[in-house]
Amino acid sequence: MIEYTDLTGEQVKMTFQKDGLGTDIKDILVIPYLGDNNWLLTENIVRGLEFPGGKIDPGESIVTAVKRELWEETGVHLTPADQWHFIADYQFKDKKRGHVIKRAYVIELATYIEAPIPAEFETIAVHQLTTVDYEQFDAARLSFYMKDAGMATLWQKAKQIVGC
């Protein structure tokens, strides 16, 4: 387990053991991998560039939330051929919800077909970036969520998992 202070000044706990912080997962994060050193990110209309993710709706399973969020933010429909890899669970403090546990996955997409994003969703664009592109990307365009030590750790773990 690691602990760090996020950019809001709150303590975050991260474990690479599934359910190591408990089983009450409230949020998910997906790091989609397209192969050939390419990653898929979404551009949120307010926050900027980030990996897809969000809250798990009441009565929704983690798997269903991952599928829904990925579709809503990138237009991707997951298939049985896609490979899911657990990365970490981490607990952070949300201003409205208190302590929240988020589960992060890297998903190797077997295929990727660009799809239109419905206008009513928060996404204004989907970006394919190579590992080098991502690491050299203009930080001013990155979402707040993409800038702390936790995301740097998740990014390193995701690259290790897929062999980048």
β 38-44/83-94 pair status = unpaired
The closest alpha carbon to 41, from 163, 138, 160, belongs to 138
- Please tell me the total number of residues recorded for the chain in this structure: 164
DSSP string, 119-146: TTSSEEEEEEEEHHHHHTS-GGGB-GGG
| pLDDT single digits (tens) 77-108 | 999 999 999 999 999 998 899 999 999 999 99
Q: State pLDDT tens for residues 12-71.
A: 999 999 999 999 999 999 999 999 999 999 998 889 999 999 999 999 999 999 999 999
Match domain 2-162 to its CATH number in 1.10.240.10, 3.90.79.10, 3.30.2350.10, 3.40.50.2300.
Answer: 3.90.79.10
Would you call 62 helix, strand, or coil by DSSP? helix
